[in-house]
């Protein structure tokens, strides 16, 4: 399996115009093609920052370290170029765009990626056929295609719409930022099925989540716990239950000392051996 | 470090790349305005006496007027004696001799817009004797219209060939006493279009100034008069999406529309005159009076405008709803970037019974642009059961621009139903990032959002015009075609 994403000693934060407020403080993560990684952690541990940094959001500034995607640094690449190259971010809070129909954005996005790959752009009919097929999988109403992007969508519809976009764009690296939050149990199931359907040997998926419940449906290969801006603990899928039982405080207060935890065959992140000191 | 991301201010601050050097016009009468100049204009055009009399009356009235100051636009005082009021038709001596001499950026814009080669020369002001392709098109076109009894000619020709029609309708909607600029126009207007659709005739094609080769150098004081007789229909297109080159800074056009009983006139404008440079230097002052009158019952007049050019746009295409059951519509997109200013809107004057009007205004401000909607809905006592719906939406890009809304409502009939809705929104960095993270460039994202914002107005435009208008908005916001 080849390495899709390699993050080395990443320090990053939010630039408020005057200074960069540090959030990620030495994060390491390696995602190989075919793997699903879950990144868990309490509020404020830097999960969304990681997502935004990977997607290239303005003001989320890398101060040191490296992000290699397919062996190339992502740091100087514009967000749209990352997207066209196969990096996808499912937003925790999908953005509303009044006046622009959902299908218009979807088609523009798909064609931007196709153009980048040197493929012919899809015309309206071909695109409609493609999108209808994916809609059925996501259990979405076709009417959502003709409504303005995310405007007036319920929380569940917004999240499904993100997964629909992912299914259409077929990214090589998908980062899903709390896609499970705000979903009822049925919607969670549909979304999880959508994600599960995306698992492929040439695709890497990073699931960012608070809770273990999504991981009941989408069993990750690796679980990482983010605390104070770095991966404090990595392990296999069973780590989720452990966390559920003990809470994040357990990690923050030095759980990594417990060596008994089984970890995945190929530890993706750094299995921390020292307690993160209270910075 | 950090990734190179889109900077909105930089983007909207890009310079207008369609700018060009303007060679001086040489074949003109001396600067200044007096009765002799007006006599000279009328004589050179070979006008009948009634026309000269009308011009002189207008001029004398103009001398008693003062320039209006009530709008929100700001500009240095205009020296009316420094303007030359008559230009002879252009010869090969003026303007660029070929497209090789035209600003390559302008040419690239034409290319991007898909303007045919022959038309590029015309738009760029290349002094050619004739635009061959278009002449043949125009000739067949005119023959077809003549069969139906439709008159479509330059204003100058109409004055000579159809003096009784011109005399009957000229100034009947916009009298020369109407306002300062309309009055000046009445005194000195150079040329324009005249169109008459006979009773019961539906004009089979969109009439466009574009085909009107013989009057293409109408310049700054243009006059348009369109009459749709009983039961007639016409759709008229004015302007062009491609940036137009012009020497004159002040444009004071007058457009009059008359719809008789059961007639319908659709008037669509795409205005893209030179807006001036990034610092607001140069650019056209577009002070236009446009008004239509639904003179008969069940008449309908629709104005659709896409205003992206000019340093200053100051116009209120209006409808006087005199006939019972008549309908007035105003659909507008006005975009201001850099230091452009727009004070535009409409007046809907309800006089007849069961008259209805719709106003849909979309203002987009970027850079240091100022955009004002100013509209009047007036319901006279006689207008029983009048209805109006007004929607004014403003979209802001960046934090240096401004949007204003000045709605005036005067209702004298208690049975009137008036609705007014207004919204202001901003293109947020979060929206742009969302689109970028789906593979769209920031420029494409802005164009997509802006076009989405304007969709309701664009759908009122004739099809090809709508497609061009969409491209135009993208280009106007980029300030580049790259």
Distance of alpha carbon B451 from alpha carbon B364, whole angstroms = 11
Q: Which domain holds residue B129?
A: 8-477
CB contact under 8 A, B438 and A76: no
Q: Let me know how long chain A is.
A: 279
Indicate the pLDDT class of residue B20, thresholds 50, 70 and 90: very low
How near does any CA of chain B get to the CA of A181, in Å?
A: 19
Instruction: Tell me the percentage of chain A whose pLDDT exceeds 90.
Output: 58
Average pLDDT estimate for B115-131: 51
pLDDT, residue B82, reads 80
**In total, how many domains does chain A have?**
1
Q: What is the mean pLDDT of residues A157-171?
A: 92
Please report whether residue B433 resides in a domain.
Answer: yes
**Is residue B2 one of the residues assigned to a domain?**
no
Which residue range(s) make up the domain with A8? 3-265
Residue B49 predicted with pLDDT over 80: yes
Q: How far is CA B192 from the centre of its chain?
A: 13
Please give the helix or strand (H or E) that residue B266 lies within, else none.
Answer: strand B264-271
Of the candidate ranges A53-67, B114-128, B168-182, B315-329, the one whose mean pLDDT is the lowest: B114-128
Distance from CA of A81 to the nearest CA of B (A): 6
For B365-382, write each residue's pLDDT tens digit.
888 888 889 999 999 999
Name the band, by pLDDT with cuts 50, 70 and 90, for residue B471: confident
Give, in order, the Cα–Cα distances in Å from B374 to each of A200, B252, B293, B399. Answer: 58, 19, 20, 22
pLDDT of the residue at B90: 46
Please say if the pLDDT value at position B346 is more than 60: yes
Task: Indicate the DSSP class of residue B92.
Answer: T
Does the pLDDT of residue B141 top 90, yes or no?
no
Contacts of A98 in chain B (CB under 8 A): 425, 452-453
pLDDT range class, residue B96, cuts 50, 70, 90: low
Contacts of A105 in chain B (CB under 8 A): 435, 438, 440, 448
Highest-scoring range by mean pLDDT, A39-43, A78-82, B120-124: A78-82
| B contacts of A113 (beta carbons < 8 Å) | 439
CA distance A123 to chain B (A): 17
Query: Can you tell me the mean pLDDT for B69-76?
Result: 81
- Per-residue pLDDT, B400: 82
A272 falls within a domain: no
Within-domain flag for B3: no
Instruction: Tell me how far apart the alpha carbons of residues A162 and A177 are, in angstroms, rounded to a whole number.
Output: 10
Residue B482: inside a domain, yes or no? no
Residue B71: is its pLDDT beyond 90?
no
Q: Which of residues 360-379 of B touch A (CB under 8 A)?
A: none
Residue B1 lies inside a defined structural domain of this protein? no
B281 contact A CB<8A: no
Closest CA to B295 of B274, B319, B266: B319
Average pLDDT over every residue of B110-135: 51
B 97-126 near A (Cβ less than 8 A): none
A160 or B92, greater pLDDT:
A160
In a domain, A120, yes or no: yes
Q: Does the structure show a pLDDT above 90 at B50?
A: yes
Residue B12 has a pLDDT of 46
- The band of B202, judged by pLDDT with boundaries at 50, 70 and 90, is very high
| Residue B7 C-alpha, separation from nearest chain A C-alpha, in angstroms | 9
More confident residue, A239 or B281: A239
State the nearest Cα–Cα gap between B455 and chain A, in angstroms. 7
CA distances from B338 to B272, B285, B453, B454 (A): 15, 15, 20, 20
Q: Which of B255, B258, B290, B439 lies closest to A107, judged by CA?
A: B439
pLDDT over 90 at B102, yes or no: no
Closest CA to B383 of B409, B420, B408, B411: B411
CB contacts < 8 A (A, B):
111
Q: Say which of A78, A96, A112 has its CB closest to residue B4.
A: A78
Question: How much is the average pLDDT of B189-205?
Answer: 90
Q: What is the pLDDT of residue B14?
A: 43
Q: Which two tokens stand for residue B239?
A: 């302007």
Query: Does the beta-carbon distance from B452 to A97 stay under 8 Å?
Result: yes
B111-132 average pLDDT score: 53
Please tell me if residue A13 touches chain B, with a CB cutoff of 8 Å: no
The string of pLDDT tens digits covering residues A123-133 is 888 899 999 98
Q: What are the distances in angstroms from CA A265 to CA A35, A234, A236, A259, B129?
A: 12, 11, 8, 15, 81
Range in A43-47, A190-194, B120-124 the model is least confident about? B120-124
Q: Which of B452, B447, B453 is nearest to B473 (CA)?
A: B447
Q: What is the mean pLDDT of residues B296-313?
A: 91
Percentages of chain A per state (helix, strand, coil), in multiples of 5:
35, 30, 35
Count of alpha carbons within 13 Å of A198, Cβ hemisphere only? 34
Q: Cβ contacts of residue A31 below 8 Å, gap of 6+?
A: A3, A4, A5, A6, A37, A173, A204, A206, A268
Domains in chain B, number:
1
Does the beta carbon of A219 lie under 8 angstroms from any beta carbon of chain B? no
CATH (domain of A233): 3.40.50.300
Task: State the pLDDT confidence band at B468, using cuts at 50, 70 and 90.
Answer: confident
Helix ranges (H only) for B13-162 are: 35-44, 49-63, 104-113, 117-123, 132-147, 155-161
* Assessment of whether the complete model's pTM goes beyond 0.95: no
Residue B188 has pLDDT above 60, yes or no: yes
Q: What is the pLDDT of residue B478?
A: 62
Q: Who has greater pLDDT, A217 or B23?
A: A217
The CA-based angle B127-B132-B133, given to 5 degrees, is 125
Rounded CA gap, A188 and A181, in Å?
9
Question: Is A270 domain-assigned?
Answer: no
Confidence category of residue B244, pLDDT binned at 50, 70, 90: low
Q: How many angstroms separate the CA atoms of B159 and B227, rounded?
A: 14
């Amino acid at each position: 399996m080849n390495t899709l994403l390699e993050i080395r000693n990443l320090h990053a934060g939010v630039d408020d115009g005057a200074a960069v407020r540090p959030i990620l403080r030495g994060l390491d993560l390696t995602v190989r093609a075919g793997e699903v990684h879950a990144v868990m952690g309490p509020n404020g541990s830097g999960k969304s920052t990681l997502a935004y940094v990977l997607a290239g959001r303005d003001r989320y500034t890398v101060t040191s370290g490296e992000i290699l995607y397919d062996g190339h640094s992502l740091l100087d690449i514009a967000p749209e170029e990352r997207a066209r190259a196969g990096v996808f971010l499912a937003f925790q809070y999908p953005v509303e765009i009044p006046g622009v129909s959902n299908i218009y954005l979807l088609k523009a996005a798909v064609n931007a990626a196709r153009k980048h790959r040197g493929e012919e752009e899809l015309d309206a009919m071909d695109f409609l056929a493609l999108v209808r097929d994916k809609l059925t999988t996501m259990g979405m109403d076709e009417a959502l295609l003709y409504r303005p992007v995310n405007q007036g969508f319920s929380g569940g519809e917004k999240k499904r719409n993100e997964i629909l976009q992912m299914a259409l764009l077929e990214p090589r690296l998908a980062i899903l930022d709390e896609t499970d939050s705000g979903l009822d149990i049925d919607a969670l199931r549909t979304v999880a099925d959508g994600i599960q359907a995306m698992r492929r040997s040439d695709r890497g998926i990073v699931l960012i989540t608070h809770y273990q419940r999504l991981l009941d449906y989408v069993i990750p290969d690796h679980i990482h716990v983010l605390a104070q801006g770095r991966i404090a603990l990595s392990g296999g899928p069973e780590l989720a239950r452990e966390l559920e039982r003990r809470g994040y405080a357990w990690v923050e207060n030095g759980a990594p000392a417990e060596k008994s935890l089984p970890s995945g065959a190929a530890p993706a992140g750094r299995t921390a051996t020292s307690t993160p000191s209270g910075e | 470090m950090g990734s190179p991301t889109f900077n909105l201010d930089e983007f909207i601050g890009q310079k207008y790349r369609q700018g060009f050097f303007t060679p001086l016009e040489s074949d003109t009468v001396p600067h200044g305005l007096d009765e002799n100049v007006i006599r000279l204009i009328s004589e050179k055009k070979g006008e009948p006496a009634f026309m000269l009399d009308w011009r002189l009356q207008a001029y004398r009235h103009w001398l008693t007027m003062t320039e209006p100051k009530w709008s929100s636009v700001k500009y240095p005082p205009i020296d009316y004696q420094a303007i030359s009021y008559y230009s002879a038709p252009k010869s090969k001596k003026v303007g660029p001799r070929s497209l090789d001499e035209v600003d390559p950026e302008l040419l690239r814009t034409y290319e991007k817009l898909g303007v045919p080669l022959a038309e590029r020369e015309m738009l760029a002001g290349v002094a050619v004797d004739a635009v061959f392709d278009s002449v043949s098109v125009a000739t067949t076109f005119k023959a077809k219209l003549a069969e139906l009894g439709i008159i479509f000619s330059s204003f100058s020709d109409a004055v000579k060939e159809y003096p009784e029609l011109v005399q009957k309708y000229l100034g009947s909607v916009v009298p020369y006493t109407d306002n300062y600029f309309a009055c000046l126009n009445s005194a000195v207007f150079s040329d324009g279009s005249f169109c008459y659709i006979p009773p019961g005739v539906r004009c089979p094609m969109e009439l466009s100034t574009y085909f009107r080769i013989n009057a293409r150098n109408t310049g700054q004081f243009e006059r348009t008069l369109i009459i749709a007789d009983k039961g007639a229909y016409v759709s008229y297109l004015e302007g062009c999406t491609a940036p137009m080159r012009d020497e004159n800074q002040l444009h004071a056009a007058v457009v009059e529309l008359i719809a008789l009983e059961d007639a319908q006139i659709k008037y669509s404008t795409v205005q893209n005159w030179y807006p001036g440079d990034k610092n607001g230097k140069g650019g056209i002052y577009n002070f236009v009076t446009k008004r239509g009158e639904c003179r008969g019952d069940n008449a309908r007049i629709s104005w659709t405008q896409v205003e992206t050019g000019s340093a200053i746009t100051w116009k209120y295409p209006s409808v006087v709803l005199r006939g019972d059951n008549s309908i007035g519509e105003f659909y507008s997109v006005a975009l201001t970037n850099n230091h452009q200013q727009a004070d535009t809107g409409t007046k809907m004057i309800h006089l007849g019974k069961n008259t209805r009007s719709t106003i849909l205004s979309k203002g987009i401000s970027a850079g240091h642009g100022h955009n004002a909607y100013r509209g009047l809905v007036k319901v006279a006592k006689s207008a029983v059961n009048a209805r109006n719906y007004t929607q004014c939406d403003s979209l802001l890009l960046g934090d240096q621009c401004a949007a204003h809304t000045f709605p005036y409502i005067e209702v004298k009939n208690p049975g009137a139903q008036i609705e007014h809705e207004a919204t202001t929104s901003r293109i947020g960095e979060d929206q742009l990032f969302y689109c970028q993270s789906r593979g769209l460039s920031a420029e494409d994202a802005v164009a997509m959002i802006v076009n989405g914002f304007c969709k309701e107005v664009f759908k009122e435009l004739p099809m090809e015009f709508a497609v061009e208008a969409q491209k135009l908005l993208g280009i106007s916001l980029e300030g580049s075609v790259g």
